[in-house]
Amino acid sequence: MVKHLLISGASGLLGINLSLEALQDYKVYGTAHDRVVDVDNLSFVKTDLLEPDSLQRLFDWAEPDCFIHCAALTNVDLCEEQPELAHNLNGELPGLIAQETHRLGINFIHISTDAVFDGLRGGYIETDIPNPQNVYARTKLEAESAVAAANPDAIVARVNFYGWSMSGDRSLAEFFFNNLQAGKQVTGFEDVFFCPLLANDLAKFLLEMLERGLHGLYHVVGSQALSKYEFGVRLARQFHLDENLITPVSVHSAGLSAPRSPNLTLRTEKLAQDLGRDIPGVSTGLHRLSTLYQQGYPQQLRNLLVAD
């Protein structure tokens, strides 16, 4: 029998790419808050996950075997402005989902972030001690602890990813691509380092982790570290765009309201070992990003968004 997979945040950057990937093997049930998506064979419902009883209604509707929780308040600066909402959605809700999935025997993946670390050192492994630097990161770490306590079988995946989104402007890759293609000057942080993974590849890893019955904390990011500036340059080269339009700047010059961690590079040996395969690096991901572009994938994604 085909298994049911419930994906919260199915309109988001990860959620939509994951939903499309999962449709090959699962009956997929997607949720979002405001936006509506229309995907063949995907059952979709709009719901505010913070409403009482919304979880119970979702479980009754989808009867899931598996649940991947992608919904979150992801705007880091908005989290500073609305710490209570960030706490409720990012910090508390995942623990409640973990409790319910444990009680009902549903396989659960909670999506966390590389930003739980202070970024002073980089190269973090799963057993390193987090030290979050802003409201977003603190609430995401709060959730990690709540999920692990409520559901020891759950997977907590710390991620960082880029890709094509339905809005066309959701990821760092789209930021560089859109501006460079329009011939516009942009800046890229030369002192913020990360290990980005293509959302489509992340989706495959998450589904494989489910299938393999893994549990516990995993770093699910790309295998190569680089600065955000370098990422822009590599993307420009991949798409034959003008890399000289990108000016390297310091994050300190950007006037961002929430403090950012400078070096969020994570190590992925645990995942590679438990899955028995290599984790893609930057070139592989950017090459696939460009193949998807040539196949018209960004436009296909935009067509899935139902106008209000």
Ligand X SMILES: NC(=O)c1ccc[n+]([C@@H]2O[C@H](COP(=O)([O-])OP(=O)(O)OC[C@H]3O[C@@H](n4cnc5c(N)ncnc54)[C@H](OP(=O)(O)O)[C@@H]3O)[C@@H](O)[C@H]2O)c1
**Cβ distance to ligand X smaller for residue 9 or 280:** 9
CA pair distance 141, 71, nearest whole angstrom: 15
Mark the segment that binds ligand X (CB under 6 A) among 11-19, 97-105, 184-192, 287-295.
11-19
Q: How far is the CB of 183 from ligand X (least distance, A)?
A: 26
**Cβ distance to ligand X smaller for residue 97 or 246:** 97
CA pair distance 292, 271, nearest whole angstrom: 25
Q: How far is the CB of 174 from ligand X (least distance, A)?
A: 11
Does position 268 interact with ligand X (CB under 6 A)? The reply is no
Among 28, 39, 55, 72, contact with ligand X (rule: CB under 6 A): 72
Does position 30 interact with ligand X (CB under 6 A)? The reply is no
Q: How far is the CB of 172 from ligand X (least distance, A)?
A: 7
Among 5, 7, 11, 227, contact with ligand X (rule: CB under 6 A): 11
Q: Environment class of residue 246 by beta-carbon count within 10 Å: exposed (0-12), middle (13-18) or buried (19+)?
A: buried
CA pair distance 23, 9, nearest whole angstrom: 16
- CA distance to 177, 253, 255, per residue, from 250 (Å): 21, 6, 10
Map the footprint of ligand X across residues 106-125, applying CB under 6 A: 111, 113-114
CA torsion angle for 36, 42, 43, 49 (degrees, to 10)? -60
Per-position x/- string for 31-60, each x denoting binding to ligand X as judged by CB under 6 A, each - no binding: -xxxx-----------xxxx----------
Does position 228 interact with ligand X (CB under 6 A)? The reply is no
Map the footprint of ligand X across residues 151-170, applying CB under 6 A: 159-161, 170
Q: How far is the CB of 111 from ligand X (least distance, A)?
A: 4
Q: How far is the CB of 256 from ligand X (least distance, A)?
A: 16
Contact residues: ligand X, CB under 6 A: 8-9, 11-15, 32-35, 47-50, 70-72, 74, 89, 111, 113-114, 140, 159-161, 170
